[in-house]
A and B are shown apart, each in its own frame.
Chain A
Amino acid sequence: MKIELSKALQQDIFKQMEGTFPNEGGGFLLGSKSGDTVSIVDVIQIENTFETEEQYHRYAMSPKNWADMEDTADDRGLTLVGYYHSHPDSPAIPSEYDRVHALPNFVYIISSVMSGKAVEMLVWLLRDDRSAFDAQELVVQP
């Protein structure tokens, strides 16, 4: 699958994730899906609801966050296509915790933030059988 993201939105995500460092941050991806391409048109930062002392390695959103965002997407004629979060001082590779809590058909953007600076963004999709994530092609557009 090809994931299209503008340079401006990528920079938005990087700035947000640098802002939450040394804790994890994240948000929702709104966009549209056509064939084998997902186009992201907006990124919505959502506050980390995990216990404060665990936020250095955990990120969570509330069910209400999800419900509200799904309704917002419908209202805007968009689709809730995925979510993003950061891995502070860790690679942008899904963890076992990510896999256990993941859904298929949902774009997972992970940003690596090293010493406060966002250094890498990778995109992943969970396999249908939930066994693993597979890296996807990220196309950053000017």
Chain B
Amino acid sequence: MASIRIPTPLRVYTGDEAKVSVSGGTVGEALNDLVNQYPDLQQHLFQNDKLRSFVNVFIDDEDIRFMDGTDTEIDDDANLRIIPSIAGGR
């Protein structure tokens, strides 16, 4: 199965698991499987069924935004990583 590495602040919603095994043939399917397993992640990753703007998903070192987004196909042993883009302002 593919795996997704969870950013530190969100591990409280995965029972402190840093890496979660997921099924799916695309990034989107893998993310859907992730939130099906851990529904409390949904609101922090998605807004109106789209990834939040500060939520990035990488396959190894590649940002899926420069591939086919959530339609990007993945192998069974793919290593995905969710990486927030920290931002702030007054």
Contacts and interface: CB of A to CB of B under 8 A. Distances in A.
A105 B40 CA distance: 13
Nearest to A55: B89
B15 interface: no
Given A80-B8, A129-B43, A59 B87 contact: yes
Contacts of B44: 103-104, 130
Contact of B7 (A58, A70, A88): A70
26 contacts: A24-B89, A26-B88, A57-B90, A58-B87, A60-B85, A60-B86, A60-B87, A61-B86, A61-B87, A63-B56, A63-B63, A67-B58, A73-B8, A85-B88, A87-B90, A94-B88, A95-B89, A97-B88, A101-B85, A101-B87, A103-B9, A104-B10, A104-B12, A105-B10, A129-B43, A130-B43
B90 A24 contact: yes
Contacts of A106: 8-9
In this complex, which of A61, A81, A129 has the most chain B Cβ atoms within 10 angstroms of its Cβ?
A61
Contacts of B10: 103-105
Mostly, the B contact residues are mixed
Query: Interface range on chain B: under 10, 10 to 19, 20 to 34, or 35 or more?
Result: 20 to 34
B38 interface: no
A90 B90 CA distance: 7
B39 interface: no
In this complex, which of A65, A67, A89, A108 has the most chain B Cβ atoms within 10 angstroms of its Cβ?
A67
